[in-house]
Amino acid sequence: MRIGIYPGSFDPITNGHMDILKRAAALFDKVILLLAVNPSKKSTFSVEERLKMMKEAVKDMPNVEVDFTSGFTVNYAKKVGSSHIIRGLRAVTDFEYEFQLAAANKFVDSDVDMVFLMAGQTTSFISSSMINELHKNGADISPLVPPSVVEAYSHL
Ligand code: ADP
């Protein structure tokens, strides 16, 4: 079975993430949407809140599972028998970071490979921090995020 891991902070999950996830789910037998917890990064939502939103967003996707790790994604991938890590690319600015990350991952485990999918035309401007800014300024974020995220913001 071909397993792909799609890691990220998902703080919160957006329709940009969902676009990459749907396309990845068509490429792999199973995709694990992995909350890669970085304790030193300040977050808007707790790990539990983020997982809840992610699980709700993928509930109709039969070959997608949600999990989390506080360690390296490459180590998680090895543990579950995957050698493919999926990432999305929005702009040149993403490329620099992703290029470094790919090299670091290869350094830790040379068997692992990164799979990059280009952001969709209509979702490429979406980022979690952009959603936060829009929400703070009273914009309607519902066209840009799954319903579970709109719900979570209403409790913030
Ligand atoms: P991280 O902190 O690991 O970058 P993010 O949750 O910000 O976590 O992003 C996870 C992955 O999804 C990254 O590869 C990022 O480039 C990608 N991504 C984020 N937003 C979009 C989008 N709108 N379109 C395509 N890919 C995206």
Q: Whose CA is nearest to atom 23 of ligand 1?
A: 16
Q: What is the pLDDT along the chain (156 residues), one digit of tens a residue?
A: 999 999 999 999 999 999 999 999 999 999 999 999 988 889 999 999 999 999 999 999 999 999 999 999 999 999 999 999 999 999 888 999 999 999 999 999 999 999 999 999 999 999 999 999 999 999 999 999 999 999 999 988
What is the rounded CA–CA span in Å between residue 131 and residue 146? 12
pLDDT at residue 109, as a whole number: 94
pLDDT at residue 153, as a whole number: 96
Question: Which candidate in 84, 87, 90, 135 is catalytic?
Answer: 90
Residue 57 C-alpha to ligand 1 middle, in angstroms? 16
3-class DSSP string for the chain: CCEEEEEECCCCCCHHHHHHHHHHHHHCCEEEEEEECCCCCCCCCCHHHHHHHHHHHCCCCCCEEEEEECCCHHHHHHHCCCCEEEEEECCHHHHHHHHHHHHHHHHHCCCCEEEEEECCCCCCCCCHHHHHHHHHCCCCCCCCCCHHHHHHHHCC
R_g over Cα of the chain: 15
To the query of whether residue 90 is one of the catalytic residues in this protein, the response is yes
With a Cβ cut-off of 6 Å, ligand 1 is lined by: 8-10, 16-17, 20, 87-88, 90, 94, 119, 123-124, 126-128
CA 92 to the chain's CA centroid: 18
Residue 79 C-alpha to ligand 1 middle, in angstroms? 23
CATH: 3.40.50.300, 2.60.40.290, 1.10.357.10, 3.40.50.620. Which one for 3-153?
3.40.50.620
At residue 64, φ and ψ (nearest 5 deg) are: -120, 130
User: So where are the chain's domains?
Assistant: 3-153
pLDDT at residue 41, as a whole number: 86
